[in-house]
Amino acid sequence: MKFRAPWLAKLRYFVRETMVNVARARMVNVLTIGIIAASLFILGGFVLLASNLHGAVAEWNRVAINAYLRDDAPADRVEKLRTTIAGDPVVREVRFISRRDAAALFRERFSHLAAAADDLGGDLFPASFEIVARGGREERMQATESLVATLRASPLVEEVRDNEAEARKVLALVGVVAAGGWTVGGILALASFFTIYNVIRLTVYQRRDEISILRLVGATGAFIRLPFVLEGTLQGAAGALAAEIVLFAAYGRLAAHAAATANPFLKLLTSGFLTPGQAALLALGGTLIGTAGSLISLRKFLTD
């Protein structure tokens, strides 16, 4: 005679009952999982977009100022200006980009436009200074004001581009994207919660006779509730897994299209997928939606 631990028998019972509950309402469960997957897919997409835009800001954050030089600027005066810039306390690094180097960088970053650039001539791009400032963004915004004014007043400089202004615009866009993602994702997550709430409620109602028998033979409330809680948790976890699989597939297709077309905007949006921590939080969110929906439903419709 084989000995079986009581906890193992209970575990088998709970798993079996959970599977029975899922099988009895297959279509409803598929719909529930689909709603959870849709909500987390949208939320994950917004998180992915915001993360990649933050990455772009971090890249711009490296080079604070670009100063584009006039075509007729004498080389000796350009070198003197570079020395002056390098001596400014706010400047950490200054790099001179020749016209040839600028053309090479353009061809590297925008390979699909390289032929057009060649047709227009090799002198299309101006020489410039890339200036890296010291300190954090807020500190640099004040410290570089005088440097930007000096560069704009120089007769050697054609144009000055302060990347802090561009970074602030992107950060504002990131804020809008994040707010929109949390709003839409939150609404759909709430819809998922109420869907699970009503699915568990319906399941409890359908099995009310069986539940009554379990009570008569001495089953505790926790013993009766656990299969229903596991059902909701399973729905949430399956929805989260489906969302991440679809999100990864969509990201892969978009990244492949970006690589094939050499579209710089698409490359920016597909510079990286969700981090392991973000993916884990997304999965945890779906699981918690399912667990919370079932627990609250049982608290109201299945009391001791």
Q: Decide which of 173 and 248 is more confident.
A: 248
Residues 17-36 pLDDT 10s? 667 766 676 777 787 888 88
pLDDT level of residue 164 (50, 70, 90 thresholds): low
Under 8 Å between Cβ of 257 and 54 = no
Whose CA is closest to 67, among 146, 129, 4? 129
pLDDT level of residue 244 (50, 70, 90 thresholds): very high
pTM given for the model? 0.62
Residue 152 has pLDDT above 70, yes or no: yes
3-state secondary structure 138-197: HHHHHHCHHHHHHHHHCCCEEEEEEHHHHHHHHHHHHHHHHHHHHHHHHHHHHHHHHHHH
Domains in the chain with CATH codes: 6-58+168-301 (no CATH), 62-162 (3.30.70.3040)
**Nearest-angstrom CA–CA distance, 295 and 260:** 48
3-state class (DSSP) for residue 95:
strand
**Nearest-angstrom CA–CA distance, 96 and 162:** 16
Q: What is the pLDDT of residue 9?
A: 63
Residues 75-109 pLDDT 10s? 889 899 999 988 888 888 888 988 888 877 777 76
Under 8 Å between Cβ of 255 and 35 = no
